[in-house]
Homo-oligomer: A and B are copies of this chain.
Amino acid sequence: MVKVNENFLKLPGSYLFSEVARRIGAYTAAHPEADIIKLSIGDVTLPLVPAVIQAMHAAVDEMGTAGGFHGYGPEQGYEFLREAIAQGDYAARGVDIRPGEIFVSDGAKSDCGNIGDIFGVNNVVAVCDPVYPVYVDTNAMAGRAGEYQEELGRWNRLVYMPCVEKNGFSPEPPEETPDIIYLCSPNNPTGAVLTKDQLKVWVDYANASGAVILYDSAYEAFITSEDVPHTIFEIEGARTCAIEFRSFSKTAGFTGNRCAYTVVPMELERGGVKLNSLWNRRQCTKFNGVPYVVQRGAAAVYTPEGRAQIMENIDYYRRNAQVIREGLAAAGLTCFGGVDAPYIWLRTPDGVGSWDFFDQVLDRANVATTPGAGFGPSGEGYVRLTAFGEAEATRTAVERVAGMFR
């Protein structure tokens, strides 16, 4: 008789975004006239830029000809893309990452989950609280999280690093030394960032203890502050303790195009084993590469036209973030994030619970948010707003929410 993976059965039932969607659906059913604006889900709205579209059309044409057809590609990604990434995202910032350290994939979500394959089950995992649920759920599925404690909203084997106002939403090295540390900067959901000095502390900590940092920088394109690193490999020592996840999703609007990459430096070894080799073996065995057409689209992001076009889109979203931040602050609300990140972390007024505040804002302003409690216990008392909406709708949403407090 087959035994199912019992760890799956420990996962709490409702996924945050499903519950948000369910509540919006229920509200819309009861109020069909309501014009709901969603500042809740982190999906982009601007179309793919012309340089990407052009490159994809050209690649589709190739795929229809005997001479230009591409079958199985390298599992790690085509050299043209790995080279473009190495140059455009690293060498251009003075960081030396070789193409052989870059693994192109179908998404940072996949990679953040799949990376667990190369680690033993008996590692202690540390996550920020609040946190992007994928880090937690994938480790729970793999058996690294222990048991879920419903009443606390926590897993008993995970180490939680509270990110709260007191510490500027910046995680601090925990007392119990973890083996695997997930860091996300710019942060989802808080919009906070780690400065070079803050990240240096983590790199030194990991090198001293033998831990590995899984560094999710999917929102890197939104960084504007000088002292915020665009990659963990700007920090001395990171090559011996860090794996970095990057994505074209938010950088170039690829959420429906699926392309990302993971960097595993050659120097990163544990127990005498190169993690680059393990990840390579994992990818070669359980993955067959990203569509040729998509990789051509991703490579176009690194051309001068592509770069200029995607930066226009990023600027558009940045202006939305500013509108949200400033509009809500002017109404007397307290916001965090939204400067180097597309996320604004709004403190609910008068200590209202985050699901209650979600319901109030949905009902009174017809604006959907994401309750902070859904990201972990320390997210209680906050909601997440995103800057990925349409500019006019975002402005309207902010006015409506602000109107609740005038």
Contact = CB atoms under 8 A, between A and B. Distances in A.
A30 interface: no
Contacts of A52: 64
A288 B258 contact: yes
A273 to B, nearest CB: 5
Contacts of A290: 258
Most buried by B among A8, A65, A294: A8
A167 interface: no
Most buried by B among A61, A106, A179, A209: A106
Contacts of A253: 69, 71
B46 A66 contact: yes
A290 B294 CA distance: 11
Contact of A291 (B47, B209, B257, B282): B257
Interface in A94-121: 106-107, 109-110, 113-114, 117-120
Interface string A106-139: 1101100110011110110000000000100110
Interface string A230-260: 0000000000000000000000010111100
Given A53-B64, A66-B46, A257-B291, A5 B278 contact: yes
A70 interface: yes
A61 B52 CA distance: 11
Contacts of A53: 60-61, 63-64
A5 B117 contact: yes
A288 B106 contact: yes
A32 interface: no
A286 interface: yes
Contact of A209 (B1, B15, B63): B1
A333 interface: no
Nearest to A388: B71
Nearest to A285: B137
Contact of A48 (B43, B48, B64, B138): B64
B64 A50 contact: yes
A180 B1 CA distance: 9
B3 A270 contact: yes
A72 interface: yes
A385 interface: no
A1 B210 CA distance: 4
A284 interface: yes
Which 10 residue pairs of A and B lie closest in terms of their CB atoms, listed nearest first?
A: A1-B210, A113-B286, A3-B120, A53-B64, A43-B71, A71-B255, A70-B256, A47-B69, A107-B288, A2-B179
Interface of A: 1-6, 8-9, 11, 15, 41, 43-50, 52-53, 56-57, 60-61, 63-66, 68-73, 106-107, 109-110, 113-114, 117-120, 122-123, 134, 137-138, 141, 179-180, 209-212, 253, 255-258, 270-271, 273, 275, 278, 281-282, 284-294
Given A45-B71, A117-B141, A293-B294, 13 more contacts: A1-B270, A2-B123, A2-B210, A2-B271, A3-B119, A3-B122, A3-B179, A4-B278, A11-B281, A60-B293, A109-B287, A134-B285, A256-B292
12 contacts: A2-B179, A3-B122, A5-B118, A46-B69, A52-B64, A53-B63, A53-B64, A56-B63, A57-B57, A137-B285, A138-B285, A138-B286
